[in-house]
Amino acid sequence: MTDLSPPETVRPARARRVAAAQCALNRVPAITLYFWLIKILCTTVGETAADFMNEELSLGLTGTTLVMSTLLLMALVLQFRAKRYVPAVYWFVLVAISIVGTLITDILSDKVGVPLALSTLSFAAVLLATFALWYATEKTLSIRTIVSVRREAFYWAAVLVTFAFGTAAGDWLAEGLALGYLKSAVVFAALIGAVVVAHWRLGLNAVIAFWFAYVLTRPLGASLGDYLSQLPEDGGLGLGTITTSALFLGAILAAVSYLTVTKRDVIVAK
């Protein structure tokens, strides 16, 4: 019988075309230095913008939450409608979700009276449960393969919980344990450095290393935001939430504009 299967030399080319098609559908950016820089900027804005809207604009926690939740839903609609990764839309979602995640923790702490230690442990448990359900359903936690609505839904759910968890952990360390904002930032930066070393030198799985670092950037950014914006008598530099938010939002806008033009963070097939 004649073998009608394609020759071996054709199969790699087909595999490359399939991989390229999947990469074109990927709805999140490649993990580059730009990704981590903008992520930290977004986490800082999440802290300072929430405080600005709550205190300076006198919206209160409830009003701020309603406004930002509405903006987040609008941003998610744009993101899910996109056929591929669009820098402006993706980072719009991340800025909005960083603020909402911060507000969730603030409401639990300030309105409900949940201790920061309990919030931290509770969000850690929710995050682990989210990852477990995601992996059980999709058999992967890699963000290089966010090519379906269901995977993206798991992705954004996990991201939201990381922000709530990171806010609680950062506030618990800085305020609950009285470590202060700057020292807390140093602690979280050191932990991120340890994850990098574990990945590059000790063989820590790339996906696990990514999510550890992703979680830790939230309290790092929150601690930096509080350190820059809070008054000196409260352990900060006193720049205020308006100035700090404006500076970091401007940096985010510049970086996203650069990536939109250069496409340096678009995932490509290898």
Give residue 1's pLDDT band: very low, low, confident or very high (50, 70, 90): very low
What span, in angstroms and rounded, lies between the C-alpha atoms of 162 and 165? 5
Q: Check pLDDT > 50 for residue 39.
A: yes
At residue 241, the pLDDT reads: 86
Residue range 71-129, pLDDT digits in tens: 999 999 999 998 889 999 999 999 999 999 989 999 999 899 999 999 999 999 999 99
Domain boundaries, the chain: 10-262
Long-range contacts at 62-68 (CB < 8 A, ≥ 24 apart) = 62/107, 64/99, 64/103, 65/100, 65/103, 65/107, 68/96, 68/99, 68/100, 68/103
Q: Check pLDDT > 80 for residue 238.
A: yes
Is 156 in contact with 94 (CB distance < 8 Å)?
no
Please state the rounded mean pLDDT for residues 255-263. 94
Q: Is the pTM of this model over 0.75?
A: yes
What span, in angstroms and rounded, lies between the C-alpha atoms of 164 and 218? 9
Is 5 in contact with 125 (CB distance < 8 Å)?
no
